[in-house]
């Protein structure tokens, strides 16, 4: 084996082992962040901050694993195969959630309160008594930077109501059933909430209102949800949903995702 071949093999082994080491450190940091927030030992902001170096380590692991893969393919040499493959596919899996979180931070509207009826959003009753970092009052006239399908308004500020109607028209259209009574729609909505795994905290069959909570997968960030059923026409019904975060700051699309999940599960 020539000196160049020996150096290449050593680099390949180094890249594979270093990639795996970086991945393990990144996963350990992420586990500390998630576990610390879940157990109440770290604040939400501290956990998010700790995820930054964890993500950087994940990116480093992916870069090193990619260098190993390139070397292995170009040299047709499998030195460090096990470590390199574990690091490559492990880094891809590990980075999916934090990179999607960053992506939705740019792509989603900068809001923390989403509803299918911006003009007359459902109101919390039971959950209104629970402490929340955000105002329970929906503010559709707040102006936000716009990022949506209508390029005429990009780079400018629009109201939350306008942006929500324009970006999510399928959510803000009236969700109504012509031949379904409000009572039937109410219990179908109740069944949909149960299937989604949300925690029901209040049901009012008289006012046709359901209140529930849901927690994000990693940090357990809580969102409060209210579902309102109303009469629509002579024998029909309309269903509207609202989901808002308890923590301050943008929700990175989590509440809109809950509205979509509900109507994917709910059927008139």
DSSP β-bridge partners for residue 244: 113, 224
> What average pLDDT score do residues 218-235 get?
92
Q: Which domain holds residue 80?
A: 3-107
Give the number of domains in the chain.
Answer: 2
pLDDT of residue 3: 63
Using pLDDT thresholds of 50, 70 and 90, give the confidence band for residue 227: very high
Whether residues 130 and 252 share a domain: the answer is: yes
Q: What is the DSSP letter of 253?
A: T
Whether residues 208 and 129 share a domain: the answer is: yes
Does the residue 153 lie in any domain? no
- Which residue, of 88, 107, 126, is where some domain finishes? 107
- Which residue, of 64, 89, 107, is where some domain finishes? 107
Question: Hey, what are 192's tokens?
Answer: 């949909």
Does the residue 143 lie in any domain? no
Does the residue 70 lie in any domain? yes
Give the Å distances, CA to CA, from 268 to 98, 140, 189, 205.
36, 28, 9, 18
Is residue 184 helix, strand or coil? helix
Q: What is the DSSP letter of 155?
A: T
Say what the pTM is: 0.83
Long-range interactions of 99-102: CB distance < 8 A, separation 24+: 99/55, 101/252
- Give residue-wise pLDDT tens across range 15-52: 999 999 999 999 999 999 999 998 889 888 889 899 99
């Amino acid at each position: 084996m020539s000196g160049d071949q020996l150096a290449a093999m050593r680099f390949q082994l180094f890249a594979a082992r270093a990639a795996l080491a970086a991945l393990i450190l990144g996963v350990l940091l992420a586990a500390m962040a998630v576990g610390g927030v879940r157990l109440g030992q770290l604040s939400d902001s501290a956990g998010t901050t700790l995820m930054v170096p964890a993500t950087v380590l994940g990116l480093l692991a992916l870069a090193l694993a990619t260098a190993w893969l390139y070397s292995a393919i170009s040299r047709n040499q499998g030195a460090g195969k096990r470590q390199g493959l574990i690091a490559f596919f492990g880094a891809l899996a590990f980075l999916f959630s934090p990179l999607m979180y960053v992506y939705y931070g740019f792509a989603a509207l900068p809001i923390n309160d989403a509803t299918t009826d911006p003009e007359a959003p459902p109101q919390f009753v039971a959950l209104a008594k629970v402490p929340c970092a955000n105002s329970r009052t929906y503010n559709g006239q707040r102006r936000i930077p716009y990022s949506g399908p209508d390029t005429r308004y990009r780079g400018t500020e629009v109201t939350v109501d306008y942006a929500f109607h324009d970006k999510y028209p399928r959510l803000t259209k009236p969700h109504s059933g012509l031949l379904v009574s409000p009572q039937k729609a109410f219990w179908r909505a109740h069944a949909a909430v149960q299937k989604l795994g949300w925690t029901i905290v209040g049901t009012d069959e008289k006012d046709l209102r359901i209140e529930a909570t849901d927690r994000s997968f990693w940090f357990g960030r809580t969102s409060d949800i209210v579902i309102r059923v109303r009469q629509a026409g002579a024998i029909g019904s309309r269903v509207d949903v609202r989901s808002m975060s308890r923590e301050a700051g943008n929700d990175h699309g989590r509440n809109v995702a809950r509205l979509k999940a509900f109507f994917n599960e709910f059927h008139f």
